[in-house]
Chains A and B, each alone.
Chain A
């Protein structure tokens, strides 16, 4: 089955620690995205990548880093510089379906600070 997987489902971060969220897709999509969702709110874009070995900052990139070494993978690192990391993180990839572009989402990772 084609889709997007994210791991882990839950992640706990200690103060001063960097943590990495995994995102893998087998949809053969070039573009991938990371969004952050805070309680009761919509999604905000952290980083995006339109092609392997290239990525761009989104609206709230401070305290986060990414890499895109493979088409299928787009890991997100939450660094110690991110002072309020508790949130739900969603990865997405974008492709053409039915004559239009559409983003599809993974199941998400909930990050909690200990």
Chain B
């Protein structure tokens, strides 16, 4: 069975600085997706970034980038130039590419507070 672990329940960062959120996962499969989702106070779940496991290049989306270490089963999210609107709960999630369910397996989440 696959598991996802986020070991940082809460983090804070000053506006305009950079912060890294950690995520580790466990799987015996080789073909999968990894995601970071953002859940602001409105509780809407918003996709931040997606990484395909077969791709060696780390995904980037504007100020958001990942450090994907497949052998170490690590998938961290770096937020550059943090903004107040980045304040949210961030979830790391795993999906098997070959799955016939499309089920997402979520970590427990990291609450990020961006301070002015």
A residues adjacent to B (C-beta < 8 A): 31, 33, 35, 40-45, 48, 50, 56, 58, 88, 90, 92, 94, 98-105, 107-108, 110
Contact = CB atoms under 8 A, between A and B. Distances in A.
B100 interface: yes
Contact of B108 (A33, A41, A101, A105): A41
Nearest to A30: B102
Contacts, number: 65
A108 to B, nearest CB: 5
A99 B109 CA distance: 26
Majority SS at the chain B contact face:
loop
Nearest to A110: B43
Nearest to A97: B50
Majority SS at the chain A contact face:
strand
A43 B102 contact: no
B102 A90 contact: no
